[in-house]
Amino acid sequence: MTGTRPKGVRALVRMLVAAVILPLAVAFVGVGTASADPYTRFAGDWVPAPGGVGQIKVRIWFANNGSNKAVYLLDGLRATDDVSGWEHETNAAWLADNGINVVMPVGGQSSFYADWYSPSNLNRQPYTYKWESFLTQNLPDHLARYGISRSSNAVVGLSMGGNAALILAAYHRDQFAFAGSLSGYLNLSAPGMREAIRVAMLDAGGYNADAMWGPPWNSAWLRHDPFVAAPKMRGLSMWISAASGLPGQHDRPNSLVGAFNTSNAMGLEALALAQNRAFQVRLATLGIDAHFSFPARGTHTWGYWQDELWAMLPTMKSAIGA
């Protein structure tokens, strides 16, 4: 249940930094000190997919204090089949040095971490995505073997994964007591959004949105729209973030490719901000509390998502009892 995104030498350098240099750092974003390399408390497992159709790679970093609470980290639209973007691009594994188990499922390109109706025919997908079932049944069963709780955990995602984090927590309240959405698209019923998602999925792996939730008028689109599902989030601890779209410290538009990537990330983040602002109003009208973070600068880029992940850590731990 995977996609592809070649990383090359830069990805290898980032992974070497994560494995060797970062454990020596003094602190992460003002949250504690890296006391040990979390890769000494690591398991890379293959977990059966729902229906016995293959296996899904899962990478786990165990909490340094023996906590039984975990955060599930969900990837973006172009999730890869080697390791999660959270591992490729950030120091998220080091959350484990701060008293929380870190769980990164691998793969799920263009999936929205949902249970699909059928395999995608346009790219000849050989199986049907069943990500919600996997994340709420197969994976908790597997994690229980390590003593990780089935209940009151956290789920955090970016972009596509931000949408999924809120939906998973809304419909599985016993499993998730905290949800974090970073630059998520939280109003799928807004004009043009379903068409935009269809185009984005075609671009990210050639996936057919009809195989996911049916045609745009199918009720499954409403079921997976955080704006519609908002009433189910009452009492859920949430951290919801989107930046302005203006370039900041993590953008490097110093080449033609860099300038193109930055301009693209600016547009994506500006759309996410509009969606997040609409969602903020939606929660306010329902009288539902959530923490909203709207940085003055930032684009649809990993560095800003890493910053928000560390900023939310105290709130996350308090919510799940880690």
Please tell me which residue in 88, 250, 300, 308 is annotated as part of the active site: 300
Q: Classify residue 181 as exposed, middle or buried by CB count within 10 Å of its CB (0-12, 13-18, 19+).
A: buried
- 241 given a catalytic annotation: no
- 159 given a catalytic annotation: yes
Q: How many CB atoms lie within 10 A of CB 13?
A: 11
Please tell me which residue in 159, 181, 183, 237 is annotated as part of the active site: 159
Residue 155 to residue 164: CA distance in whole angstroms:
9
Residues pairing with 47 in the sheet: 56
- 300 given a catalytic annotation: yes
Please tell me which residue in 87, 132, 269, 308 is annotated as part of the active site: 269
195, containing H or E segment: helix 193-203
Cα four-point dihedral sign 156, 270, 296, 225 = negative
Q: Are 320 and 178 in contact (CB under 8 A)?
A: yes
From first CA to last CA, the distance across the chain in angstroms is 30
Active site members: 159, 269, 300
